[in-house]
Structures are given as C-alpha cells and as structure tokens.
Amino acid sequence: MKPRIAVVGSVNMDLVFRTPRMPAVGETLSGHEFRQIPGGKGANQAVAAARQGADVAFIGRVGDDGFGQYSIRCLSEDGIDVSYLSAVPDIATGVAGIIVTDAGDNSIVLAAGANAALSAENVDAAQTAISSAQLLVCQLETPLSTVTRAIQLAKQHNVKVILNPAPVQALADELLQQVDYLVINETEASQLSGIPVTSQESAHLASEKLLQRGVSAVLLTMGEQGLCITEPGKRQYIAAIRVDAVDTTAAGDTFVGAFAVGIGRGLDIHAASVEAQYAAALTVTKLGAQTSIPSRSEVEEFMQSRAAG
C-alpha cells in the first residue's frame, strides 16, 4: 500500500537567476541564465513525497494566472491530487525571486500572493484528504492560522504531523505540542529555541528545548554538518552525504517529503532520515526546485552506488 500524505502549503513560481556571485547593494550584475521553475515549499514537499511513491493530496491556492495554471499542471503530472488547489481571482500566484551563484549559494525573496489567501475554511473543505492521510505535512509560507487549523484537524483524526517551520516565526507551545516531527535548520532552531546552533552539541540542546515545549521529535538539518535527531532521552547524529553542490534550493523540502514517505512506509525515524538525506543530496546536484527533486529509483540507485563504495 502506498503511504497517503496530505500537504497543506504554498505554491510559487521560482524566477531563478544564475549569477557569478551575489550582487552588492546598489550593483547591477549580469547573470549567466534565467529560468522559470515551479517551486514553493509546500508544492516542493508534495512533489518529493509523490516522487518517492506516496499518494499525495495538496491543499493550497494559486492566482488566476498563467503561473498558477502551469503550477497546477506540473503537480498533476506528478500524480498529486489537486482537487483542493484552487485559483483566487485578482491575486497573483506566489512568486520567489531566487539568485543562485556559481558557488551554489542562494538568496530568495518571496511575494506570497495567493498563498496568503489559503484559509482555515479551505482546510476544512479538505477535511477528507487530511483525515484519510497517514501524515500531514505543513510549512509556514501560508498563514499560521491555516496551518494551526490543519494540524488541529489532523490530530482529531490521529494523523501524524510533520511541521517544517519555514520561513520561521514565533510558535505557541499549544501548536508545538501537536507536532510529531519538527524538521528545522540551524536558523530556525536558533530562533525557536533561543539557543544559537553552531555545533552538534548546541543542535541537540536547542532541540531538547523544543522537546520541552511539547514537540515529540526534532530533526535538525545542518547541510554539510549532517543531521541531528533528538527525541526524549535519545540523541542521534547522521553524517551528511557528500555531493558536488550546484544549487541547494529545495534540498530541505526534498528531505521533508521523502522523510514523510519513509515514516508512512513504516521505517523508524533513523532509517527514514537516511533515505531522506540521500534524496536531499541528489536535489543539490541540479538547478532549481521541482526540476531537481529525484524519483524513488534515482534515490535507490544512488544509495546502492554509495553502499558499493
């Protein structure tokens, strides 16, 4: 049986500029290339889960425009149920302006557009998709009140919750208490815990602070520094998978989507994280968000090739 996953989240069209370096303030810098690539943290996580073999329902909003229509078509082509992804009149689809340098660093500016119109009522209308899922996946590119409602609904139906609180904002303990897996990076962990995360030790300390606030498990992704998993009374560390980085955009999203599928398949938190790390590492080797998210067979081949040495 395929894992069933509901994703409540954002859809963006990513306007990607490849440049030799980051422009300085006031500078006009010539880039190498421009691409329009479907993105948005929610949509990326849904695509990652679908490409890893899950049945995915996506709950979100786009604008009534070309970017929105194209984004919906791309999600459908990945086999994602888009019945709860509707267009809002007179608002633009969310857009992300992304600069990717030759060194693989990126900077992102967001205009939320229709993502800001995703309401608690839209989530209520998708109750069947949430209640019939094994896991609910949320991020914070849509209103917090909407995410809160989705998490409440999931808990009412014993659906496990994965929250990726990006972009980070203050979160109430009542919300964190309903989160089974909190997937965060160093910046988000530092901000949510008040403990600067600079090392494995500080990562576990910050995570333990979040456990005290009610989360069941924290997965703190630290890029090349690996992954710290913290549960009550248990600390685990998984080293990063080394690859030649082209663009890190959507690596975190791929981790979240693939991790959800691993848990949905019955893997434990460590095994699901290892698979998710391989999937995320492959994402880093290609340009763009949904253009770089690997399929299940690509991840399996990659894992086998690394195991073979």
What beta strand segments (E) does 40-80 contain? 55-63
* Torsion angles phi and psi, residue 208, rounded to 5: -65, -35
- Which of 78, 71, 38, 41 has its CA nearest to residue 56? 78
- Which of 82, 89, 36, 83 has its CA nearest to residue 65? 89
269 binds ligand RIB (CB under 6 A): no
One residue of 3, 6, 14, 211 binding ligand RIB per CB under 6 A: 14
Q: Distance of CA 162 to CAs 12, 26, 56, 123, Å? A: 21, 40, 14, 16
Q: How far is the CB of 197 from ligand RIB (least distance, A)?
A: 19
Choose the catalytic residue: 173, 180, 253, 268: 253
What beta strand segments (E) does 130-226 contain? 135-139, 160-164, 181-185, 217-221
Residue closest to ligand RIB when measured from CB atoms? 39
The one segment of 21-29, 36-44, 77-85, 130-138 that binds ligand RIB by CB under 6 A: 36-44
Residues 42-71 that bind ligand RIB (CB under 6 A): 44
9 binds ligand RIB (CB under 6 A): no
One residue of 249, 283, 291, 292 binding ligand RIB per CB under 6 A: 249
The residue assigned the tokens 């660093």 is 105
First to last CA, the chain: 32
247 binds ligand RIB (CB under 6 A): no
Closer to ligand RIB by Cβ: residue 14 or 186: 14
- Which of 87, 20, 84 has its CA nearest to residue 56? 84
Closer to ligand RIB by Cβ: residue 142 or 148: 142
253 is annotated as an active-site residue: yes
Closer to ligand RIB by Cβ: residue 71 or 193: 71
Return residues touching ligand RIB (CB under 6 A).
Answer: 12, 14, 39-41, 44, 96, 108, 110, 141, 249-250, 252-253, 289
Q: Which are the catalytic amino acids?
A: 253
